[in-house]
Amino acid sequence: MLSKEELQKFDDEYKGRIAHVKGYDDAWEIVLRRPESKEYKRFRSMINGDRASDAQETLVRQLAVYPKGDALDALLNDYPGIPEACGKSIRVLAGIEASEQGK
């Protein structure tokens, strides 16, 4: 598992716009950064097209700052549901999750 110092480095690098997602019983962990506009637009176009089943995984692969490369491939092979488990964190990072104000 990542140390507090390692997480702080990611937080500093991405100006607090990260999500640290861990699996049940800490079986896995992943750190995502916020999506750029063009990445999120590509994701939205994928979910409405022929590659809908790949859309979430593609976005997670783009946003993952930990792990990366072969380690990320191995993690997603062992736990193929990780992209969906990251859904709420991605919505928060993208600005979709919000609290409504007013009446």
- Predicted confidence at residue 103, as pLDDT, reads 59
Pick left, alpha or beta for residue 70 (phi over 0 → left; psi -120 to 50 → alpha; otherwise beta): alpha
- Please tell me the predicted confidence (pLDDT) of residue 102: 64
pLDDT confidence of residue 35: 98
17 to 1, 13, 33, 63: CA distances (angstroms): 20, 9, 6, 11
| Mean per-residue pLDDT pooled into runs of 10, the chain (103 residues) | 97 97 97 97 90 94 98 98 96 85 64
This prediction has a pTM of 0.91
The count of residues in the chain is: 103
Q: What is the pLDDT of residue 91?
A: 95
Nearest to 72 by CA among 6, 9, 21: 21
| pLDDT at res. 81 | 97
The helix (run of H) or strand (run of E) holding residue 30 is strand 29-33
- Pair 60, 30: CB distance under 8 Å: yes
Residue 32 has what pLDDT?
A: 98
